[in-house]
Amino acid sequence: MKSGFTPPIGKILQINGQCISLIGNDIDTDRIIPARFLKCVNFDSLGESVFEDDRKTLKGSHPFDLEKNKNATILIVNSNFGCGSSREHAPQALMRWGIKGIIGESFADIFYSNCVAIGIPCFTLPKKSIQQIQKYIDQKFLYLEINLKNSLVKSKDLNFTLEIKESSRKMFLSGEWDATSTLLKNKNLIENKFNDLPYLKFNNHFF
């Protein structure tokens, strides 16, 4: 986990940051976070182990090990990213490494849903556009500004209209993706419902 990490809360209207590219189709959740790390008590340490086995194999040359990428927050991927098992630890590990948004050709459905649940928007672009971005990153530093209101992404040299499920986009813009904050905001409604439930009303003679 990067120092100063704070999980997102509430409305997510814009994501700005440096990009990191991970080339390859069908990168599954076991590669994102190997199964042996699923025994953790909480998610805090998972950022250190993201892509652990791939990074060991590449001996320091994996994108997540390169010094130039240490401050990256936007991940660029190819097709069917996050396939495999449904472990929620995969997006948790990416978030704790520092990823705030992902742009790819396509995502596995459960991985996508797990990302939405913790505040990581996942956007899609056609294969040709993703390859153009990845080629650019291979040659230059790329800083992107993503506007969720109009689904536009831009940089000094690149501009694209991103695709995102409308239901997901509305959840990020309203903050409804954040279940904890939504519950706290509706504390009075919860208390009223609690008081209305007959099986939670006890007579004194039971005690």
Token pair listed for 170: 């509305």
Mean pLDDT of 143-169: 96
Question: Would you state the pLDDT for residue 204?
Answer: 46
Question: Which one has a higher pLDDT value, 6 or 81?
Answer: 81
C-alpha to C-alpha distances, 137 to 8, 62, 79, 203, nearest whole angstrom: 26, 14, 18, 68
Question: Would you state the pLDDT for residue 194?
Answer: 66
Question: Would you state the pLDDT for residue 117?
Answer: 95
Whole-model pTM: value is 0.86
Token pair listed for 194: 């609690």
Alpha-carbon distance of 203 to 36, in angstroms, equals 50
- Is the pLDDT at 62 greater than 60, yes or no? yes
Q: Can you tell me whether residue 185 is helix, strand or coil?
A: helix
Mean pLDDT of 6-19: 94
Alpha-carbon distance of 179 to 121, in angstroms, equals 15
DSSP 45-85: TGGGGTTHHHHHHHTT-STTT-GGGTT--EEE--TTBTBSS
Q: Side-chain half-sphere of 42: how many Cα atoms within 13 Å?
A: 4
Is residue 49 very low, low, confident or very high in pLDDT (cuts 50, 70, 90)? very high
- Domain extents in the chain: 14-176
Question: Would you state the pLDDT for residue 29?
Answer: 97
How is domain 14-176 classified at the CATH fold level? Answer: Aconitase; domain 4 (3.20.19)
Is residue 179 very low, low, confident or very high in pLDDT (cuts 50, 70, 90)? confident
- Is the pLDDT at 186 greater than 70, yes or no? no
Question: Would you state the pLDDT for residue 129?
Answer: 97
Note whether 70 and 25 are within 8 A (CB): no
Question: Which one has a higher pLDDT value, 42 or 101?
Answer: 101
Question: Which one has a higher pLDDT value, 135 or 191?
Answer: 135
